[in-house]
A and B are shown apart, each in its own frame.
Chain A
Amino acid sequence: MPDIERLVNDFVAKLSKRKVEGSQATSRLTAELLRSVVSLQRLPPTNSAAVLIEAVRGVGVKLVAANPVELAVGNIVRRVLHIIREEDLSLLTSKTSDLDLSAASDDEGTIDQDFDPTQSAAAAAAAAKSFLQPPSLHALLENMLDKAIPSNNYTSSSGGDSEEKSKADKLARTRKLKHDVIEAINILIEDIDTCHELIAEQAVEHIHQNEVILTLGSSRTAFEFLCAAKEKKRSFRVVVAEGSPRYQGHALAKELVSRGLQTIVVTDSAVFAMISRVNMVIVGVHAVMANGGVIAPVGMNMVALAAQKHAVPFVVVAGIHKLCPSYPHNPEVCLNDMRSPSELLEFGRFSNCKEFGMDSGAPLQVVNPGFDYVAPELVSLLITDIGGHNPSYMYRLISDYYSADDFDLQGRIHK
């Protein structure tokens, strides 16, 4: 059985040396790693969910620190934490529903706060017993009416009948929790794998006959999206901006042509000249922030501004794993990746201009940022696995996929 620490360190090393790149690959690997963390974690019979959460969070903090620029890592860690909370909750609900129907009656839209010590007194008491369902509005009201009910239930279930039965019960529950979490992570991995198809399915709704689509650089999601529309017998043209300095657009254009799409390659600087002929801009991005703004390959902001000027829809396609629950703060610096200047120009050719030894004033400086931040006002539509959304709707998606407790992985909220 592989040592979990070693697995983690391996992955941390890979992340920090930038050997794993691309949000899909990264998030998939992260999910797989966390799955093994969960499966190898020894759980105590009581409070097992909390132990699991601590374990995953501990690993998560390390992973995020290894490559803070790749936001997908943090997203997946938070997703897994959310899964654990949900599974624990549903187990509890089923458990308590056996015992107390009234308590399980209303668990729709609850906020899980079972391990948060800063909760209301009633909830805290319930959490300590680790048995009670988190307080839904209904349950809270019930508790207010009769605080004795949960504790009575507890004593009747474990203390009342027999100690051994309850122990076996707990063990089974722990095992069940682990199993369910792993199952859920498997579904998450599957989601990550299939996100392209799910997004691509929506292509025909957005791309119409004889349209001109513009894209920048290369993104697998955008590529699949375009191909899906092509397969549905839509005929349209694609303008590919090459995406300096990595020029991934060249590769994309090659592939699009091999799929029989009419493709035009332009330089990034020609985007504004082309935009008036374009019906829609479709691009893949690096991450989607909580406010609906996106972190995208460098040059994207220029495209978005050009699109806005000509009222061309700027459509972003992104798997839900790219949705990040944090808000961008100083994104040009904090969320950027300063890459090697050698992507821009060859070192040797300019070595004379970089002379620090001479007193000839400031040396040549080459800056190569990896990403642009596109403000939400410039994004017309975000297409994810689960459909198209307005950027302003992102906060709602975030509350569906993440727990508020996990937004800060360091756990600084918890005093």
Chain B
Amino acid sequence: MVAKKGGSKGMGAAEDAEEELARTPLQAIILADSFTTKFRPITLERPKVLLPLVNAPMIDYTLAWLESAGVEEVFVFCCAHSKQVIDYLDKSNWFGQPNFSVTTIESHNAISAGDALRLIYEQHVIRGDFILVSGDTVSNMSLSQALKEHKERRRKDSNAVMTMVIKQSKASPVTRQSRLGTEELFMVIDPETKQLLYYEDRGDNLKGYLSLDKALLTDNTSISLQNDKQDCYIDICSPEVLSLFTDNFDYQHLRRDFVKGLLVDDIMGYKIYTHEIHSSYAARIDNYRSYHTISKDIIQRWTYPLVPDVQFFGNSATKLERQGMYRAPDIKQSRSSKIGPFTVIGSGTSIGNNTEISNSVVGECCSIGSNVTIEGCYIWHNVTIEDGCKLKHSIVCDGVTMKSGAALEPGVVLSFKVVIGRNFLVPAYSKVSLHQQPIRQDSDEELEYADNSSGITESPSVSGTLDLLNEEERTELPDSQAYEVGDGGVGFIWLVSEAGQEEEWRHSVAPIPVDKLVAIMQISNDEADLPNEDGAFLPPSGELGPDSITNDSNEDAEDIRDDSVIFEREVEATFQRAVEEDVTDDHVILEVNSLRLSYNMASADCAGALFSSVMKLALDAPHDSPNELYKNVVSTVRKWKKLLKYYLPSIDEEIEVILKFEEMCLESAREYSPLFVQILHHLYDQDIIQEEAILDWASEKEGAEESDKVFVKQSEKFIQWLKEASEEEDED
């Protein structure tokens, strides 16, 4: 941290050309509004940037970081609850800092980041390159390197308008979300220039594959597709960015509209670059889960020096004790109470007898009674928790009272000043507020982002189980909304909206329940875990090709499948895609060949796999009787005859196909067993399988066990007929 300021100054002095840039002070824009509803209902009463994160408002982290990184002028854009933000900044000393001026820009009608930037553009306050962050960013990165790169690029190419800061972080292979609770991010980056070429942050919409523009491959000598990066939402922008927002008045979201817009639109030729940070920390609080994760990172000191025992700004200092336990000097703690590791206790808090607190943050001036259990919770200031309460993985806001014996199940959020009645059990993932839940999503802001929450589309089976689960939940919830939080409780339980249901566990502070994980694992096993492997063979130059394959097979270690099974599944998926998208035979052949190479398979395996795919396709088509099924087969085979033929250059492959078919009839597709002969005959008629293959197969089966000979026997007549025919031919 010492070198930071000196570093940026020295850089300016060293290079004359940079002098003019160095003269304008380094500016930053903080968006003190995330324009989303993820933190509802808390954000109905207080803006998100003022919510305490390990007992200090989020915006203090952002400002303290910007200040130490050498930013001189900061514009804080306030929208929702703007008065509270301004009042807070007034009360704290941010306005009076030397060499660090903080100015607020207020607006009441901005409904998106785009609006905010358009408004700032109109004010003409930004004179040079600036840093664009939201007020919920926690970081300790040094900006000097990223700025230097940005300015150098700018000098060479004035179209390089933005540098995005990214960081390594792999999404969980099971839930397809990062540890910050955001969805898996796919980016295509030029490994040489670090230019961003493609950005897709709604991975779940991909249905397991990703389509890249062909131009990407033709225009660039090499690209790398990365899915192990996290977007830090720290952007170094040129002034053009603001005017771009003004020109494109429909740009709303920074990533979804602006970044993707620039990437797609190549008329203007604007370019976006990335800067990867390694050892320093940067993350944004986007949802409850990232609130939880980042809190833990702060407690584990990854954000040093922005940690609870350093007074980075106005926060009251606590003392770090063994095992990551922070305690303010003036707490009243009973001797029989136990405070576990990774816990922060704010000043003025009292803790009663036999109370156990672990993995939690407790704010200032809270009073916690006796025999209370608190695990993984975030308790803000002035909270009263009476004797015998049990709290698990919840957020409890300022001024809440929990009467004795009340309990919170994982994922609960209690908004400001709620009172939970005696012995009342708040069901999991429920949100309790003094405000009524808006019946219709009425405000513009909500409409704008209403679809956000439904970003995740899961396969029907998941929603099925979830629906069941929610059904149970709903029966617990009272129908009438009037203060139903127990005896003497005050507050409304917000019903989870239909769209948000399955998202709750993804984004809550509670750990993901095991049964959910198991459910997803099963689905991903059933449906073949495609996305990663697909990504792996698309860009052969990508550095994560082999990596992701090994990763995935590692993850599913509990059901070790040998390569051929995976291979078959892959081929099947490829084929399915070909059917859905009407891909020509040639392309399918190409893909199957590449698969074959990567799994080191014989061409016979390809034939078998493809054949079974074709048959499955026919089986999937609607049919009522074996007769119709047969017709399906006929038509499907006709369609894909060329493809099948391609992989059947010799008798061996054909035998493999017959064996495969036999296997299918026995195991996976029993519907075919009565049709075996018919289909075999059809294949023979179509010249897909030659008589030699059938005869060889029959003779091979001669010595097999009785059970194996079912189909040979079934097709005895046919074989007989074939034999005679061939003899006749011989005779001729």
A101 to chain B, nearest CB (A): 52
Does A341 contact B305, Cβ atoms closer than 8 Å? no
A10 at the interface (CB under 8 A from B): yes
- CB of A366 within 8 Å of the partner chain: yes
Partner of A340, one of B181, B304, B309: B304
Closest to A25 in B: B2
Interface residues in A323-366 (C-beta closer than 8 Å to B): 333, 338-343, 346-349, 351-352, 354-359, 363, 365-366
Q: Does A98 lie at the interface of the complex (its beta carbon under 8 Å from any beta carbon of B)?
A: no
**B residues 481-524 with Cβ under 8 Å of A?**
511-514, 517
Determine if A16 and B511 form an interchain contact, defined as CB atoms under 8 angstroms apart.
no
Task: Provide the residues of chain B in CB contact with A16, threshold 8 Å.
Answer: 305, 310-312
Give CA–CA (A17, B304) in the complex, Å: 9
Contact present for A340 and B302 (CB under 8 Å) = yes
B281 touches A18 (CB 8 A): no
Given A6-B98, A19-B68, check contact A333 B300 (CB 8 Å). no
Alpha-carbon distance between A343 and B305 when the two chains are bound, in angstroms: 12
Contacts of A343 in B (CB 8 A): 279
Q: How far is the CA of A358 from the CA of B68 in the complex (A)?
A: 34
Q: Which residue of A lies closest to B511 (CB)?
A: A359
Verify if A20 is at the interface (C-beta below 8 Å from B).
yes
Encoded as 1 (CB less than 8 Å from any B CB) or 0, chain A from 1 to 25 comes to 0000010001000001111110000
Binds A, one of B168-176, B434-442, B530-538: B168-176
Closest A residue, CB atoms, query B295? A356
Whether, in the assembled complex, B256 has its beta carbon less than 8 Å from a beta carbon of chain A, the answer is: no
B311 A66 Cβ-Cβ under 8 A: yes
State which of B281, B300, B312 has its C-beta within 8 Å of the C-beta of A366.
B300
Contact A358–B512 (Cβ < 8 Å)? yes
**Complex Cα–Cα for A47 and B473 (A):** 74
Of A20, A343, A351, chain B has the most CB atoms within 10 Å of the CB of: A351
> In the assembled complex, which residues on chain B have CB atoms less than 8 Å from the CB atom of A342?
279-281, 302, 304
Total CB contacts across the A-B interface at under 8 A: 107
Query: Which of B316-324, B565-573, B604-612 contacts its partner?
Result: B316-324
B302–A341 CB distance below 8 A: yes
CB-based contact B179/A357 at 8 Å = yes
In A252-278, the 8 Å CB interface with B consists of none
Q: Is B593 interfacial (CB-CB < 8 Å)?
A: no
On chain A, the residues within 8 Å of B320 by CB distance are 333, 338
| C-alpha gap A19/B68 in the complex (Å) | 8
Across-interface contacts of B5 in A (CB, < 8 A): 19
**Contacting residues of chain B (283-337) with chain A, CB-CB under 8 angstroms:** 289, 292-293, 296-297, 300-305, 307, 309-312, 317, 320-322, 324
Partner of A19, one of B2, B98, B169: B2
Give the Cβ gap from A370 to chain B, nearest Cβ, in Å.
11
Distance to closest chain B CB from A402 (angstroms): 25
Select which of A347, A351, A355 is within 8 A of B279 by beta carbon: A347
Which chain A residues border B98 with CB–CB below 8 Å? 6, 10
Docked complex Cα distance between A358 and B324 (Å): 20
Closest to B310 in A: A16
Q: How far is the CB of B526 from chain A (nearest CB, A)?
A: 22
B1 on interface, CB distance cutoff 8 Å:
yes
Contacting residues of chain B (48-79) with chain A, CB-CB under 8 angstroms = 64, 68
Question: Across the interface, which residues of A come within 8 angstroms of B513, CB to CB?
Answer: 359
| Alpha-carbon separation in the docked complex, A5 to B322 (Å) | 35
**A20 and B2 in contact (CB under 8 A), knowing A357-B289, A359-B512?**
yes
CA distance A16 to B309 in the complex (A): 10
Contact status B324-A357, CB under 8 Å = no
Nearest Cβ in chain A — how far from B229, in angstroms? 8
What residues of A have a CB within 8 angstroms of the CB of B392 in the complex? none
Instruction: Give A375-404 interface residues, CB cut-off 8 Å to B.
Output: none
Residues on the B chain within 8 Å of A349, using CB: 168
In the complex, how many angstroms separate the beta carbon of A348 from the nearest chain B beta carbon? 3
Contact in complex: A17, B1 (CB < 8 Å): yes
B311 (CB) vs chain A CBs: closest residue: A16
CB neighbours of B322 from chain A (8 A): 333
Is the C-beta of A65 less than 8 angstroms from some C-beta in chain B?
yes
Whether a CB of chain A sits under 8 angstroms from the CB of B151 is no
The distance from the CB of B546 to the nearest CB of chain A, in whole angstroms, is 18
* From A16, A342, A356, A357, residue with most partner B Cβ within 10 Å: A357
Q: How far is the CA of A65 from the CA of B315 in the complex (A)?
A: 13
User: For residue B302, which residues in chain A have a CB less than 8 angstroms away from its CB?
Assistant: 340-342, 347
State in angstroms the CA–CA spacing of A16 and B310 once bound together. 6
From B168, B289, B292, B307, give the contact of A348 (CB < 8 A): B168
Q: Which of B68, B278, B293, B303 contacts A17 (CB 8 A)?
A: B68
A358/B517 contact (C-beta < 8 A), A338-B301, A351-B169, A352-B170 known: yes
Q: Is the CB of B169 within 8 A of A348?
A: yes
Which residues of the other chain, B, contact A368 by a CB distance below 8 angstroms? 301
With A6-B98, A356-B292, A357-B512: A351-B179 Cβ-Cβ less than 8 Å: yes
- A345's closest neighbor in chain B, by CB? B279
Distance between A298 CB and nearest chain B CB, rounded to angstroms: 15
CB of A352, distance to nearest CB on chain B (Å): 6
Interface check B381, CB cutoff 8 A? no
Supposing A16-B310, A17-B1, A348-B168 touch, asked if A356 and B281 sit within 8 A by C-beta, the answer is no
* Leading 3 A-B pairs by shortest Cβ distance: A348-B168, A340-B304, A342-B279
Residues of A within 8 A of B (CB): 6, 10, 16-21, 65-66, 333, 338-343, 346-349, 351-352, 354-359, 363, 365-366, 368
Q: B residues near A, CB below 8 A?
A: 1-2, 5, 64, 68, 98, 140, 167-170, 172, 179, 181, 230, 278-281, 289, 292-293, 296-297, 300-305, 307, 309-312, 317, 320-322, 324, 511-514, 517
Known: A17-B1, A341-B302, A357-B292; 14 extra A-B contacts, CB below 8 A, are: A6-B98, A16-B305, A16-B310, A17-B64, A17-B68, A19-B1, A338-B307, A340-B305, A347-B167, A348-B230, A352-B170, A354-B300, A356-B179, A357-B293
List 8 contacting pairs A-B, 8 Å CB cutoff, sorted by A: A17-B68, A340-B305, A342-B281, A347-B280, A351-B170, A352-B170, A356-B296, A359-B514
